[in-house]
């Protein structure tokens, strides 16, 4: 595996919004000007790639597959930690066709030494990748969303695959259909989250584990700007064009916010985090072994 901060993107060559499997998706708006939308999507993608480079990432861009527009969101393709990728299983038939091309992509990444191994989930549960299973580097565990897309059992399967603690959080609304829409742990230990997205039990879990001083509550406006769906490295946060509230809040906590216009992807229910997948995340146990 690689020890340089590496992040996967999938080129938007085949991206469009042609079906609707979450409440943000707007195939009608896309259909009014498909060529113009595609042009804007390409420009947004380039801007994101550039911002990720400025945040210090090595960016790996892979090709998608025709007929699979949502491959542009590799956060849903797998969960990756300590060099191991566990491939996703999608809930909706519209996205199941991504599983084979993504398996080929991960095999290629393995052959090139960027990851060490590729594993598959047990039958009978859905799990939509890092979008629903987020590594919290400060606390050393995963947070897993379940409900609209991933199954509750997938959290236990992930704990077995990685030998790590997984804290399962029930998502209570279709608007926050993946955990990464409404939850983002930051490098300084803060957690940016949107409280109304969670069940009462999930909220209790978050508040028991994250002290009040480290909880940043997103507003509905922040959520609608897809600002919680952010990519963080050190003191840099890459996100779609955000709100005055979050600009001030993150700035006062010492973060530098790099904003990119990702509106063509928000029309599919995605922001910066969805469009990426970190390949180099390591758990504290692996980091300790490497230092020994």
Spot the catalytic one: 178, 182, 184, 225: 178
Name the DSSP letter for residue 243: -
Residue 179: CB minimum distance to ligand ARG, A: 8
Q: Where are the alpha helices (DSSP H) in the chain?
A: 27-32, 34-54, 93-96, 99-111, 152-162, 179-182, 200-209, 220-224, 244-252, 263-266, 284-291
- Which CB, 111 or 198, lies closer to ligand ARG? 198
Is residue 245 part of the annotated active site? The answer reads: no
- Which range touches ligand ARG (CB under 6 A), out of 5-13, 19-27, 112-120, 215-223? 19-27
Applying CB under 6 A, what is the total number of residues that bind ligand ARG?
16
Coil, strand or helix at 162: helix
Beta strands in 76-121 (DSSP E): 78-81, 84-87, 117-120
- Which CB, 26 or 156, lies closer to ligand ARG? 26
Contact with ligand ARG (CB under 6 A) among 192, 274, 277, 279: 274
Q: What is the 3-state secondary structure (H, E, C) of 161-172?
A: HHCCCEEEEEEC
Contact with ligand ARG (CB under 6 A) among 6, 68, 76, 151: 76
Rule CB under 6 A: is residue 64 a binding residue for ligand ARG? no
Sign of the Cα torsion 268, 269, 272, 275 reads negative
CA dist 193 → 102, 111, 242 (Å): 29, 37, 15
Is residue 182 part of the annotated active site? The answer reads: no
Rule CB under 6 A: is residue 268 a binding residue for ligand ARG? yes
Residue 158: CB minimum distance to ligand ARG, A: 16
The token pair at 199 is 């069940």
Rule CB under 6 A: is residue 75 a binding residue for ligand ARG? yes
Q: Which residues bind ligand ARG (CB under 6 A)?
A: 21-22, 25, 70, 73, 75-76, 95, 131, 178, 180-181, 268-270, 274
């Amino acid at each position: 595996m690689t020890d340089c901060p590496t992040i996967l993107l999938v080129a938007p060559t085949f991206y469009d919004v042609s079906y609707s499997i979450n409440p943000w998706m707007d195939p009608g708006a896309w259909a009014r000007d498909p060529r113009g939308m595609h042009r804007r999507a390409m420009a947004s993608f380039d801007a994101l790639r550039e911002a990720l480079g400025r945040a210090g990432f090595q960016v790996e861009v892979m090709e998608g597959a025709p007929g699979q527009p949502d491959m542009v969101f590799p956060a849903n393709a797998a969960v990756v930690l300590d060099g191991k990728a566990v491939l996703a299983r999608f809930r909706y038939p519209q996205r199941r066709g991504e599983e084979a091309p993504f398996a080929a992509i991960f095999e290629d990444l393995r052959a090139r030494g960027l990851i060490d191994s590729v594993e598959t989930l047990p039958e009978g549960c859905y799990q939509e990748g890092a979008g629903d299973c987020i590594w919290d580097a400060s606390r050393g565990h995963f947070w897993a969303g379940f409900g609209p897309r991933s199954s509750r059992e997938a959290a236990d399967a992930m704990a077995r695959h990685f030998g790590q603690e997984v804290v399962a959080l029930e998502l209570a609304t279709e608007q926050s259909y993946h955990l990464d829409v409404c939850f983002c742990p930051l490098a300084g230990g803060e957690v940016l989250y949107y409280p109304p997205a969670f069940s009462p039990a999930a909220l209790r879990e978050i508040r028991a584990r994250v002290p009040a001083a480290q909880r940043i509550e997103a507003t509905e406006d922040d959520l609608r700007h897809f600002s919680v769906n952010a990519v963080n490295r050190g003191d840099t946060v890459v996100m779609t064009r955000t709100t005055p509230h979050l600009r001030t809040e993150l700035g006062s906590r010492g973060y530098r916010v790099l904003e990119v216009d990702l509106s063509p992807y928000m029309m599919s229910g995605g922001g910066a985090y969805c469009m990426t997948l970190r390949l180099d995340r390591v758990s504290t146990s692996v980091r300790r072994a490497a230092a020994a």
